[in-house]
Amino acid sequence: MFAREEDVLEAAAGWRREGRGVALATVVETWGSAPRPVGSHLAVDEEGNFLGSVSGGCVEGAVVTEAAEVIADGQARMLEFGVADATAWEVGLSCGGRISVYVEKVA
């Protein structure tokens, strides 16, 4: 199903109410031709199920992996993706843009 931003936040709350570990990723900054606008959300559960997108598919895998860590230790993290930040992350954005993604646990 095609998910809207509000569906993502509803899903995050619903999953948490069911007792699942949940993290919420939010695009907080973009530079250049980033594929998703600031404020876009990705909800991730402890098993790696996710809804929404932060990049149109380029870096979701890395965000989901990092979300598992956030769910485990409860510490929010700021992730940076993009051509200029290849040292920090193996993945990049094919569009040449850069994005910062804030990942927090839904407690």
Partner 1 sequence: MELALLERLNAERAARRATILVTEIGSGRQRLVTPAEAPSDPLAERLAEGFRTGRSALVDLGNERVFLTVQVPSPRLVITGAVHISQALVPMATGAGFDVTIVDPRTAFATPERFPGVDLRAEWPEVVLPELALDPFTAVAALTHDPKIDDGMLAEALARGCFYVGALGSRRTHATRVERLAGLGVSREDLARIHAPIGLDIGAVSPAEIAVSILAEVIGVLRRRPAAREQAA
Residue 91: Cβ within 10 Å count: 16
Member of 51, 64, 71, 106 binding partner 1 (CB under 8 A): 106
Selection from 102, 80, 105 nearest residue 93 by Cα: 80
Q: Taking CB under 8 A as the criterion, which residues in 8-47 touch partner 1?
A: 9-10, 12-13, 16-17, 24, 26, 28-29, 37-39
Q: Find the part of the chain contacting partner 1 (CB under 8 A) among 2-10, 46-54, 63-71, 84-92.
A: 2-10
Q: Taking CB under 8 A as the criterion, which residues in 42-81 touch partner 1?
A: 76, 78
Give the span between the Cα atoms of 32 and 97, in whole angstroms: 5
Enumerate the β-bridge partners of residue 105: 23
Give the span between the Cα atoms of 13 and 78, in whole angstroms: 21
Positions in the binding site for partner 1 (CB under 8 A): 2, 4, 6, 9-10, 12-13, 16-17, 24, 26, 28-29, 37-39, 76, 78, 100, 102, 104-107
